[in-house]
Amino acid sequence: MQRMGERIHIHLISDSTGETLESVARASLARFEGVEAVKHFWPLVRTTGHLDRVLEDVSEHPGLVVFTLATGAVRDRLEQRCAALGLPAVSAIDPVVAGLSIILGKAATARPGRQHRLDEAYFARVEAINYTMAHDDGQGEENWNEADILLVGVSRTSKTPTSIYLANRGFKTANYPLVPGRKPPPELFTATRPFIVGLTTTPQRLVEVRRNRLLSLAQAPETDYVDSERIKKEVLEARRLFADRGWPVIDVTRKAIEETAAAVIRLMNRAEEE
């Protein structure tokens, strides 16, 4: 048995995009403190040949296997191999599907990835993702009025990952980094369509995040970029800008990306209701 504080491997195996598994794993791991999880992500597994390649990694890195597999042969093979390896294999949605089957009085289909059918919502989400990737980090300011959401904040306040998460929810999202000594483009103040939100965090947290970022890039960890006094000034100036423009502000300190995105959506919905 794995003990708290140990590293564990979790294999997420899906016959579709795997978004469901990612959400389930994240929510479940949040219930356990002190656990370092190494996630192995395997989307679009629809043949036994593909599964066999996945199982090689499962055998080399034994751990929990969580799956959403609709195809009988692939699922059967996975369950048999996990049983032989002595590893738990858990279906992420079987209990819900079984409950629906009882209520509806009919069996579920075995069509993989049916929830991601190419409908209008799917294409809208693809468009949102394409827009967001093209308008990351201050790019394409001339098109900001096409955005649903525009995130503004100093460096390392989770603007990009939050934008991508929102795009996956179907929102065209642009973001702009506030840089000391660089004047924002006029489009930031003239855009009328996007819902603009300021992201902030504590100076102490910003020092930690930026220093870790520099270390991950093998760069010197002591520069103006992580100077505490400079960062305090950056955060203060950003907050002053948000207040002057009347933009709502979200403090992302210790917040997960999903929490920040949910807060943005709540603020936007509230503003539309007013």
Q: How many residues does the chain have?
A: 274
14 annotated as ligand-binding: no
Q: Evaluate whether 15 touches 45 at the Cβ level (below 8 Å).
A: yes
The H or E element containing residue 128 is helix 120-134
Backbone angles phi and psi of 10, in degrees to 5? -125, 125
Q: In angstroms, what CA-CA distances link 265 with 5, 15, 151, 166?
A: 35, 30, 12, 9
Can you tell me the distance from the alpha carbon of 116 to that of 44, in angstroms, rounded to the nearest whole number? Answer: 12
153 annotated as ligand-binding: yes
160 annotated as ligand-binding: yes
CA angle centred on 59, ends 58 and 61, rounded to 5°? 65
39 annotated as ligand-binding: no
Cα 219 vs. chain centroid, distance in angstroms?
26
158 annotated as ligand-binding: yes
156 annotated as ligand-binding: yes
List the binding residues. 153-160
List the binding residues for ADP. 153-160
